[in-house]
Structure 1
Amino acid sequence: MTPTSRALRTAVAVLAGCAALALPAPVVAADEVPGHAPSVEHAALTSLAAEEGVSRAEAAEILRRQDDGIRALDRLTAELGRQSAGAYLDDRGRPVVNVLGDAAADRVRAAGATPKRVTRTTAELRTVRSALEALPAVAHTTTATDPVTQQVVVTLTDTTDARGAARLRAAAAEHGDAVRVEETHGAMSPAIRGGAAITGGGIRCSAGFNTRKNGQNYIIDAGHCTKGVANWSGIGPSVGASFPGNDYGLIRNRHSNAPGVVTLYNGDVQRIDRAGAARVGQRICKSGSTTGLTCGTVQRTGVTVNYPQGQVRQLVQTAARVNSGDSGGALFDGRTALGITSGMGGGSSFFQPVREVLNRYNVRLN
């Protein structure tokens, strides 16, 4: 199938991370939410206001608050070590830390965060989850730990094999209320599209982030994309792929101009200048070549997703919409890179954490 010139221009803009194209320079963020390009700010505020039923001004306050909240969570969980058992942002962007004792609760409170007394340790939840994940993998299911309810969550879909689902339910029941089984709709699948062969190998994906090593530009992307394509039209060759198990890959970008921005599909771009780790409750956005700019909330982290092609671990699960062709696209919070699009299913989207990819390939963001 021959792509239209418009589709070709869009795909190259995404795959090149806006490199070597007549796109606008990075836009200075609006004052309402520092660090957010105007389009990102608008999309994030619209999504948050609708999701929480709050005004635009209240939504802006939540977004302004969450950066400080995430920094507080990072600091407190590192300081408390085994005395904490998970952490998250509440629906108003405020940091909450699960604690096991009074001393830890006092330290959290003194730091301006909210302590939440819990009884299960991180190690106990990890043991329960390991027991479930030791069973034969069942396609179209996920396993994750929910820090809000202090439970391991097994998600089944209406496409999950009936026998496999029954095995998982029976195994979950053995752990009582430490495990919650959820049922939803839609297959778990990598967000890849065949057909419009505008990038190579009959596959269309989206770019993640422009990076650099030893003076050479690279694009970090989804592993199920780079595993399937040897050379990307107008960009360069795939030089790394890890899928399943992980879902990341590397593309050598032959463009000399590879700015550290993400295209937003409306002539606007978002500047990216740092990498971070996603937190449950964090409000995020993603950019992809099919659905463009969409926003939502981080639902879970460290998620195991059982795609039909194999199991992928340690993914970030969000409510931001993705669809086929968005694979490899950028997940971010304002100027902070968080992940690259892996797949979707059950009404959620899944992302490979960006720090792991940067460390694996020893590249840095442009």
Structure 2
Amino acid sequence: MRSSWSRRAALSPLAAALLFAGTLLSPSDAFAAPDPHDIPVAGGISGRSATALSDELGASRTGGFYVDRETDRLVVNVTDEAAAGEVREAGGIARRVTHSMAELDAVTDAFNKSISIPGTTWGTDVKANRVDVQADATVSAADYARLLRTAEPFGSTVRVTRADGRLEKTISGGNFIESSNGLVDCSLGFNVRKKSDPNSLWFLTAGHCLYKAAGVADWRNGAGVYLGYEAGGSYPANDYGLIRHYNADIGKPGNVYLHNGSYQDITHSRDPGADEYLCSSGWKTGYICGYVLQKNVTANYGDGNVGGLFRWTNCIEGGDSGGPVFHGDAALGLNSGKITWNDGCDSLGQQVNEALAWSGTEVY
């Protein structure tokens, strides 16, 4: 179930502006970063082909697919030899696994329906062929026991572990934005435009940034320049928000600032692949990169379950919320939160395609 709201404007599909601390960004500032393809594959089948093949074989015969980091080729998990033969015939690499995607999704659904505990996450580790459930240090012994009881019927399909640190929102952010009351500072995600009207420009950020703005709809950049006003979003349940650009004097290029004087052009969007290398930009942490660890992750920051996230290595910080997650020129997600460990932390992202579909917009 989605949680959504709207202020000052209807929930219509729209598009956006990208700025950094009041500096106008020109499309000519963009550059083509290395490896801008959808998914880095050196031969074999593409991400689109793997998705189509998995859909054709069905959720009971496949267990998702991931990028092999050593070969940069896509590997498709299958549960029977006939399915493996079809993958090989299509030019892909097949890997026999025990649990199908249908089984893995059943675990996630069970937790989604029965668990709402702050400080917990769960999601599919495609490479490990299981659902990993984690509880941070704030989860009580009784609630941890409840997680174990929920997992028990699923056997080896699920693993429950305790994290040393704490799950938290990164609310305080490739480009600085803040609510006009100064209570919330986050990062701008992607410029987007309304599919039905390419001249209608908006931008995406994290839903919890808008949610925590205490009803204030207006947003500005680091120089205090007015950007526009909130047009709705979804949090909790999801973690995306839309702000209407309402300042004609500000440039709105379709790129991401890398915090090193360079920019990455963004031309299209897609979902991130399991084990894929990706990067993020936020005003607090800057430009960082890592690998996807889990898909279909649910996290509870304390406001309720947030579903459909992905988890990746490396650590965003407070202020990075809403910032863009991308691979080359492909938009993948928006920074949502993090879970800290004794020796570091992992980040959580909202898949951008869901936000684009909700708002009827597209990157450019």
- Normalised to the residue count of structure 2, the TM-score between the two structures is 0.82
Is 1:252 aligned with 2:244? Answer: yes
Q: Between Structure 1 and Structure 2, how many residues are aligned? A: 324
The one-letter amino acid paired with 2:253 is: P
CA distance in 2 between counterparts of 1:364 and 1:27 reads 18
3-state SS of 1:181 partner: strand
Aligned to 2:278: 284
* 8 A Cα contact 2:192 2:362, kept in partner: yes
Shift of 1:81: 2.4
Letter in 2 for 1:262: V
Report the counterpart of residue 76 of structure 1 in structure 2: 53
Deviation, 1:152, is 1.9
**Aligned match of 2:193 in 197, 204, 212?**
212
Look up the SS of the partner of 1:235 in the other structure: strand
Q: Does 1:203 align with 2:163?
A: no
SS state at 1:293 partner: strand
Equivalent-residue separation in structure 1 for 2:177 and 2:95 (angstroms): 51
Residues 17, 192 of structure 2: 8 Å contact kept = no
Instruction: Verify: 1:320 aligned to 2:301, yes or no.
Output: no
Q: Is the 8 A contact 2:230 2:242 kept in 1?
A: yes
Shift of 1:198: 4.9
Q: Which residue of 1 aligns with 2:130?
A: 151
- Partners of 1:158 and 1:185 lie apart in 2 by 6
**In 1, Cα distance between the equivalents of 2:41 and 2:158?**
34
1:153 partner letter: D
Alignment partner of 1:231 is 2:232: no
Q: How much has 1:76 moved relative to structure 2? A: 2.2
State the Cα deviation string for residues 130-185 of structure 1 (Å, max 9, x = none).
22333241111111122222222111122222221121123323332221112222
Cα separation, 1, equivalents of 2:55 and 2:106: 21
Alignment partners' CA distance in 1, 2:115 and 2:58: 32
The answer for the alignment partner of 2:354 in structure 1 is: 356
Q: Using the TM superposition, give the Cα deviation of residue 102 of structure 1 relative to its aligned residue in structure 2, in angstroms.
A: 2.2
TM superposition shift of 1:240: 0.8
Q: Distance in 2 between matches of 1:277 and 1:17?
A: 21
* 2:109 counterpart (130, 135, 139): 130
Question: Distance between the aligned counterparts of 2:336 and 2:104, measured in 1?
Answer: 25
Greater percentage in strand: 2
1:105-144 to structure 2, matched below 5 A, reads 105-144=84-123
2:146 and 2:117 map into 1 onto residues whose CA distance is 9
Residue 47 of structure 1 is matched in structure 2 by none
* Residues 23 and 267 in structure 1, CA contact (< 8 A), matched pair in contact too: no
Alignment of 1:1-366 (within 5 A): 16-18=17-19, 21-23=23-25, 25-29=28-32, 33-35=34-36, 63=40, 65=42, 69-82=46-59, 83-92=61-70, 93-193=72-172, 198-201=178-181, 202-213=183-194, 214=197, 215-227=199-211, 228=213, 229-233=216-220, 234-256=226-248, 257-346=251-340, 347-366=345-364
Structure with greater helix percent? 1
Q: CA deviation at 1:87?
A: 1.3
Name the stretch that deviates more: 288-297 or 222-231: 222-231
TM-score by length of 1: 0.81
Alpha-carbon distance in 2 for matches of 1:279, 1:189? 24
Aligned to 1:46: none
Cα distance, 1:203–1:137 mapped onto 2, change above 3 Å: same
Structure 2 Cα separation of the partners of residues 78 and 132 of structure 1: 24
> Secondary structure of 2:246's match?
coil
- The alpha-carbon deviation at position 129 of structure 1 amounts to 2.9
Deviations 1:52-90 (A, max 9, x none): xxxxxxxxxx95639964344223223322332211112
Which structure is higher in RCO with an 8 Å CA cutoff and minimum separation 6?
A: 2
**CA distance 1:325–1:98, change in 2 (3 Å):** same
Is contact 1:66-1:282 (8 Å) kept?
Answer: no
| Structure 2 spans left out of the alignment, 5+ residues | 1-15, 221-225
TM-superposition CA deviations, 1:323-358 (whole Å, max 9, x none): 100010000000000001111114211111111111
Q: By how many angstroms is 1:111 displaced?
A: 2.6
Distance 1:342 1:163 in 2: 27
Structure 2 distance, partners of 1:219, 1:320, is 25
Report if aligned partners of 2:169, 2:336 keep a CA contact under 8 Å in 1.
Answer: yes
Check the 8 A contact 1:188/1:343 in 2, yes or no: yes
**Residues 1:158 and 1:35: Cα distance change in structure 2 (over 3 Å):** same
- Residue range with higher mean Cα deviation, 136-145 or 173-182: 173-182
CA gap 1:27/1:363 in 2 versus in 1, 3 angstroms? closer
Q: Is the 8 A contact 1:285 1:320 kept in 2?
A: no
* Aligned mates of 1:220, 1:272 — CA distance in 2: 14
